[in-house]
């Protein structure tokens, strides 16, 4: 008989996530051009200090990214991305007790960071780059598949949907099928609706409102809306003033059943998650 515990356990390399609770994933961009914190953590010492601070604040995953995926971001070579990401993955694995997620679409980066201690592959392109499916399968790690149409450089060029929630669900289901064919079983898959990727404000708001429909796919959901333009457009706030809108969305996502919240502001989001858990566990 399959136990309840085994259904909520997600092996992530040499660590395990218990998906019976909501997790906070801290964002660590080791890039010079990310939309919110580009260049802040491109030096190894600064990156490690920031990762440590996020773990102390309650993050159970650190998402390391070496290629900006903001609209209009420049392409990065596999070697440049690997040189950015590999040293910090190795260092975090050695120094901190946390699941390391690698935000990458690049097969060589998947393989090498898995060897260095990464526990999760987080791919905004859903393993659609040449060789990515085989590389991800070879690592044995869980993967997060995200919905996006096109590429970061053109994804906001007039995106259109008849029913955004249904179409996002169909895309993710198709990618799960491709993963299964490549040897990545459903139990190793997390799904990300892709807020802010190839979607207008109204697409994002509608998708968020109807997010529960994606639970029909049977996999945990990762939600990343921290500091994104959907908050800026809805509230008329610049990047540095989007915390409160982001916390409102974090609370909504948690109540709607999201398993992982990907955020910049870890301590504040952890408080949101803990407060919701305290209420829900009361008699």
Positions annotated as catalytic residues are 228, 262
Separation of alpha carbons 199 and 196, rounded Å: 6
134 vs 42: CA distance, rounded Å: 29
HEC-encoded secondary structure of the chain: CCCHHHHHEEEECCEEEECCCCEEEEEEECCCCCCCCCCCCCCHHHHHHHHHHHHHCCCCEEEEECCCCCCCCCCCCHHHHHHHHHHHHHHHHHHCCCEEEEECCCHHHHHHHHHHCCCEEEECCCCCCCCHHHHHHHHCCCEEEECCCCCCCCCCCCCCCCCHHHHHHHHHHHHHHHHHHHCCCHHHEEEECCCCCCCCHHHHHHHHHCHHHHHHHCCCEEECCCCCHHHHHHHCCCHHHCHHHHHHHHHHHHHCCCCEEEECCHHHHHHHHHHHHHHHCCC
- Name the one residue in this structure whose structure tokens are 């029909």: 216
For residues 194 and 231, the answer to whether their CB atoms sit within 8 Å is no
Distance CA 172, CA 180 (A): 12
């Amino acid at each position: 008989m399959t136990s309840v515990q085994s259904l909520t356990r997600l092996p992530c390399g040499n660590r395990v996530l218990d998906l019976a609770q909501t997790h906070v994933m801290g964002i660590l961009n080791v890039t010079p051009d990310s939309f919110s914190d580009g260049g802040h953590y491109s030096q190894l010492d600064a990156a490690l200090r920031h990762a440590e601070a996020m773990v102390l604040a309650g993050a159970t995953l650190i998402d390391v990214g070496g290629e900006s995926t903001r609209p209009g971001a420049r392409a990065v070579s596999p070697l440049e991305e690997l040189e950015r990401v590999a040293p910090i993955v190795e260092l975090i694995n050695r120094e901190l007790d946390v699941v390391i997620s690698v935000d990458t679409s690049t097969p060589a980066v998947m393989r090498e960071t898995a060897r260095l201690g990464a526990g999760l592959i987080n791919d905004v392109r859903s393993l659609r780059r040449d060789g990515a499916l085989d590389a991800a399968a070879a690592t044995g790690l869980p993967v997060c598949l995200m919905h996006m149409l096109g590429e970061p450089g053109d994804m906001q060029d007039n995106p259109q949907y008849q029913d955004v929630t249904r179409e996002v669900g169909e895309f993710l289901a198709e990618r799960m099928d491709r993963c299964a064919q490549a040897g990545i079983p459903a139990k190793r898959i997390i799904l990300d609706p892709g807020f802010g990727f190839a979607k207008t404000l109204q697409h994002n708001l509608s998708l968020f409102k109807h997010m529960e429909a994606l639970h029909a796919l049977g996999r945990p959901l990762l939600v990343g809306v921290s500091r994104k333009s959907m908050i800026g457009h809805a509230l008329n706030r610049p990047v540095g003033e989007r915390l409160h809108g982001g916390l409102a969305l974090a609370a909504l996502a948690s109540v709607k059943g999201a398993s992982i919240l990907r955020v910049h502001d870890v301590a504040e989001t952890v408080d949101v998650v803990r407060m919701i858990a305290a209420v829900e566990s009361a008699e």
